[in-house]
Chain A
Amino acid sequence: MIKEITIGQYYAGSSPLHRMDARMKLLLTLAFMVVIFLCKNFFSLGLLAACAAVLALLSRVPGGMLLRSFRPILMLVVFTSVLNLLYTNGADTHPLLELPVWRWTLVITREGLFIAVFTTVRILCLILVSSLLTYTTTPSMLTTGLERLLSPLARLRVPVSVFAMMMTLALRFVPTLIEETDRIMSAQKSRGSNLETGSLLKRIKAFVPVLVPLFVSAFRRAAELAYAMESRCYTGSGTRTSLKQLRLRLPDYLAAFCLLLVMAGVVALNRFFTAVI
């Protein structure tokens, strides 16, 4: 059950999205998300949804994998759309549907329906672009990119490279710790601890025999890693070069240009058509 958790989901590939500079991808993803929130009507949102779909196709990440990234957020989407659907007061006098339920009447208005669909598409677009970023960029590339983007902060004495190293290490140890948890759980289950049934409190208590050894081994690993790094002369300070050189190339600039165009398109469409939201 614990193996299903994936952090730093990466789909190995060599699509144009994979080859892009991590810094540019990070910035453009952020910009894309901002633009999603700038949309005011279905036309501009439609344009963005189409762009997101094109990006998904470009990435060559299998559709099943993309759908899987929607799964954790599904409940939220359903919840918000139902609330939007029921709680929006329409301006028009003729609601689409009036459903008597016991002492109340459920009223669904055109506006309610529109807003529900609108927010759903918006959330799905957000998830899609952000998961495209993680699907096409390795965690280490992401942290390198982030480090570079934040490097101006180093002037203000913010230890950016140390933070980046911490992030890289944390990511690197996620699978290791998951494996370790699995192993310790098996060992304790073999000694008859019951991790799957019982009340919540009981189950939390049952996890103590898993958590204690897990922490012990995490600290041991941390100490070992620190020795290993220090014996290779790592110090937090000092300027280091990076093994992976990030370079902005023509496609990166093209992508930025495309996003600018899309942004202009969104602004124009917002102007020409009436706002939904």
Chain B
Amino acid sequence: MSSVIECDKLCFRYPNTAKTAPPALEQVKLTVERGELLAIIGHTGSGKSTLVQQLNALLKPTQGTVFVDGKNIWENKKTVREARFLVGLCFQYPEYQLFEETVEKDIAFGPKNMGLEADEIKRRVCRAAELVGLDKLLLKKSPFDLSGGEKRRAAIAGVMAMEPQVIVFDEPTAGLDPRGKEHILQMLLRCRAETKRTILLISHNMEDVARLADRVLVMHQGKAAMHGTVEQIFARAEELTEMGLTVPCVTRIFLALRRMGLAVPPGIFTLEQGLRELLRLAAESGCAL
């Protein structure tokens, strides 16, 4: 089987909410292929975070099934616990979960809970720290002495050290400065290239989505509104706008150029594509750039 996560007819309603209120998730169908990077986009409150919490059994669906690695995660207590380690969930602002005396111990918290041997734990901690680009010297420090960006990376390493098959990042760059953001995104790419893991990325930044993702899932009012490749999704700019979302800046510019009557293709999503297209246009019209 090539898909690592399969959800079908997933419904979820938060307990203690009014019966008349729409459920947090409604009939969501989701398949995640092994090794892909799936971006999940959606307006605030569209159910993105709720959805990913179903994947590692933090929340129990009121209806529907979640299969991870071919197994129904709600089958019994053991599968629930396994799901926690199969799907690593990196919450928004993960630095607020740091608690140990040293960074090293904190990263080791997950592997320790898995019941691994001391040697294996050490290996995983080193590997995770290396993947996120944390200096070895920082490992012995208190996590509360690190800078904001370092804390974030330490927390992410804590999830990565469990070496889950799927890692979910819930807005990993929120609240970081541009350099910190770039650092995290580079780390994502490296992690993907080196470990071949499946990555789910929740993001509000359409540029990042266009740059990184293979496929995109659009959540809207608890439903999976669209599901497809980056090209397929961003080609539907108007529908996205109606959902309170947007397309990358470059795409908007090129769509405007098209409306002005220039012969540019509609599917421009990254700066590189845009630049190439502009150069081509310039060459055709004889302008020197």
Q: Which residues of A contact B (CB under 8 A)?
A: 3-4, 180, 183-184, 186-194, 208-210, 212-213, 216-217
Contact A193–B96 (Cβ < 8 Å): no
Question: Chain A nearest CB: distance from B132 CB in Å?
Answer: 15
Q: Beyond A3-B15, A3-B16, is A190–B84 a contact (Cβ under 8 Å)?
A: yes
Describe A's contact surface by its main secondary structure.
helix
Contact B96–A184 (Cβ < 8 Å): yes
Chain B residues with Cβ below 8 Å from A209 are 97, 99-100, 109
Of the candidates B15, B88, B97, B114, the one whose C-beta lies within 8 Å of that of A188 is B97
The complex places the Cα of A192 from the Cα of B159 at a distance, in Å, of: 10
What residue in chain B is nearest A209 (Cβ atoms)? B99
What residue in chain A is nearest B77 (Cβ atoms)? A197
Which residues 66-124 in B have Cβ within 8 Å of A in the complex?
81, 84-85, 88-91, 94, 96-100, 109-110, 113-114
Task: Judge if B262 is at the interface, Cβ distance under 8 Å.
Answer: no
Of the candidates A190, A212, A213, the one whose C-beta lies within 8 Å of that of B56 is A190
Task: Judge if B53 is at the interface, Cβ distance under 8 Å.
Answer: yes
Of the candidates A4, A183, A193, the one whose C-beta lies within 8 Å of that of B91 is A183
Contact B58–A191 (Cβ < 8 Å): no
Contact B99–A213 (Cβ < 8 Å): yes
The complex places the Cα of A190 from the Cα of B58 at a distance, in Å, of: 7
Q: How many residues of B contact A (CB 8 A)?
A: 26
The complex places the Cα of A4 from the Cα of B88 at a distance, in Å, of: 28
Instruction: Add 19 more A-B contacts to A190-B90, A213-B98 (CB < 8 A).
Output: A3-B15, A4-B16, A187-B89, A187-B91, A187-B96, A188-B97, A188-B109, A189-B84, A190-B89, A190-B91, A191-B97, A191-B110, A191-B162, A192-B81, A192-B84, A192-B85, A192-B114, A208-B99, A213-B97
Question: Chain A nearest CB: distance from B162 CB in Å?
Answer: 7
Contact A191–B96 (Cβ < 8 Å): no
The complex places the Cα of A226 from the Cα of B91 at a distance, in Å, of: 28
Of the candidates B16, B97, B113, B114, the one whose C-beta lies within 8 Å of that of A187 is B97
Question: Chain A nearest CB: distance from B82 CB in Å?
Answer: 10
Chain A residues with Cβ below 8 Å from B144 are 216
What residue in chain B is nearest A206 (Cβ atoms)? B113
What residue in chain A is nearest B53 (Cβ atoms)? A186
Chain B residues with Cβ below 8 Å from A216 are 96, 99, 144
* Interchain Cβ contacts under 8 Å between A and B, 30 examples: A3-B15, A180-B96, A184-B96, A184-B97, A186-B53, A187-B91, A187-B94, A187-B96, A188-B97, A189-B58, A190-B84, A190-B90, A190-B91, A190-B159, A191-B84, A191-B110, A191-B159, A192-B81, A192-B110, A193-B113, A194-B81, A194-B113, A208-B99, A209-B97, A209-B100, A212-B99, A213-B98, A216-B99, A216-B144, A217-B96
Contact A186–B58 (Cβ < 8 Å): yes
Task: Judge if B172 is at the interface, Cβ distance under 8 Å.
Answer: no
What residue in chain B is nearest A185 (Cβ atoms)? B58
What residue in chain A is nearest B94 (Cβ atoms)? A187
What residue in chain B is nearest A193 (Cβ atoms)? B113
Chain B residues with Cβ below 8 Å from A191 are 84, 97, 109-110, 113, 158-159, 162
The complex places the Cα of A71 from the Cα of B91 at a distance, in Å, of: 35
The complex places the Cα of A183 from the Cα of B170 at a distance, in Å, of: 13
What residue in chain A is nearest B15 (Cβ atoms)? A3
Binary contact track B1-38/A, C-beta < 8 Å → 1, others 0: 00000000000000110000000000000000000000
What residue in chain B is nearest A210 (Cβ atoms)? B99
Chain A residues with Cβ below 8 Å from B110 are 191-192
What residue in chain A is nearest B16 (Cβ atoms)? A3
Chain B residues with Cβ below 8 Å from A212 are 99
Question: Chain A nearest CB: distance from B115 CB in Å?
Answer: 9
What residue in chain B is nearest A220 (Cβ atoms)? B96
Chain B residues with Cβ below 8 Å from A210 are 99
Chain B residues with Cβ below 8 Å from A193 are 109, 113
Question: Chain A nearest CB: distance from B86 CB in Å?
Answer: 11
Contact B99–A192 (Cβ < 8 Å): no
What residue in chain A is nearest B59 (Cβ atoms)? A186
Question: Chain A nearest CB: distance from B37 CB in Å?
Answer: 20
What residue in chain B is nearest A187 (Cβ atoms)? B97
The complex places the Cα of A4 from the Cα of B56 at a distance, in Å, of: 23
Chain B residues with Cβ below 8 Å from A183 are 91, 96
Chain B residues with Cβ below 8 Å from A192 are 81, 84-85, 110, 113-114, 162
The complex places the Cα of A254 from the Cα of B97 at a distance, in Å, of: 54
